[in-house]
Amino acid sequence: MLVLSVVNRKGGVGKTTTVFNLSYALYSKGIKTLAIDLDPQASLTTILGFNPDEIESGIDKVILSAISQNDVNFNEIILQTDLGFYLAPSKEELELANVMLTDRFEKEFVLKEKLNDVSGFDIAIIDCQTSISLLTINALAASDYVLIPVELTYLSMQGFDALMNVILEIKRNINPNLKILGILPTKYDARLNTVKRSIKVLESLKKHYNIFPPVKKTVSFDKSIERGKPIFLIDTKSARDACKAYERVADKILEILYDREVRT
């Protein structure tokens, strides 16, 4: 199973939106997809129509079982969504994991160990919380790839170098297998000067990183999230444009999955 984390320590850049739409895009292409909500705010879980308070066991139980007596198997918490793909849901209790795991031996590798029990999926896509917390480090330690959505604003671009340094540090010290799938510019509005400047910065990074075509800014995303429907199922012109951007990311993942299959 390929593991992909969607990471940025800034909020509102489209991490959850990306996991939601990418999971659907891949599932629609016949890929067995597991979305993992590793954010205690449980936005992805909520968008997918589950009430986190009513879910009996979420990813919190799985992670916290690493420091308690009762072992919880990852497979026990997986739910099928109405859209077809599967979800490892989150609950706010997951916040505790950031504190409780601190003293655990090899605290960075709990999720990776737990994912060893999961089978039957081609890909797991992890929605990370808005900080490089111990949970996010666990996600990156378990991942083959990381995808970084960035909003094209001045402050976002200011924080970009620091974010990349953290990711490269994790690669050096915790997970040498971690690769950067790419940078995905989100909420793109070509009319704004700040966006134009940000795009120039990204252009200059092209030799280091794969920069995906941007996802345009459109209110269709708000509609999509409110209705719990991926952007692929919203019938407006701007939604169709946004689909194309997510299709490109999905195609890149398909290439990697296909390449893996051919080699094994």
Tell me which residues touch ligand ADP (CB under 6 A).
11-17, 43, 130, 186-187, 215, 217-218, 221-222, 225, 242
Bridge partners of 79, per DSSP, are 87
Bridge partners of 149, per DSSP, are 184
Is 15 one of the binding residues for Mg ion (CB under 5 A)? Answer: yes
Shorter beta-carbon distance to Mg ion: residue 16 or 133: 16
Is 16 one of the binding residues for Mg ion (CB under 5 A)? Answer: yes
When CB distances are held under 5 to 8 angstroms depending on the partner's kind, the choice from Mg ion, ligand ADP, none that residue 13 binds is: ligand ADP
Shorter beta-carbon distance to ligand ADP: residue 98 or 186: 186
- Kindly compute the dihedral angle of the four CA atoms of residues 179, 183, 184, 188, in this order, to the nearest 10 degrees: 180
C-alpha–C-alpha distance, residues 78 and 143, integer Å: 19
Look at the chain and count its residues. Answer: 264
When CB distances are held under 5 to 8 angstroms depending on the partner's kind, the choice from ligand ADP, Mg ion, none that residue 225 binds is: ligand ADP
When CB distances are held under 5 to 8 angstroms depending on the partner's kind, the choice from ligand ADP, Mg ion, none that residue 234 binds is: none
When CB distances are held under 5 to 8 angstroms depending on the partner's kind, the choice from ligand ADP, Mg ion, none that residue 218 binds is: ligand ADP
C-alpha–C-alpha distance, residues 33 and 22, integer Å: 10
- Kindly compute the dihedral angle of the four CA atoms of residues 54, 57, 61, 63, in this order, to the nearest 10 degrees: -100
Residues near Mg ion, by CB under 5 A: 15-16, 43
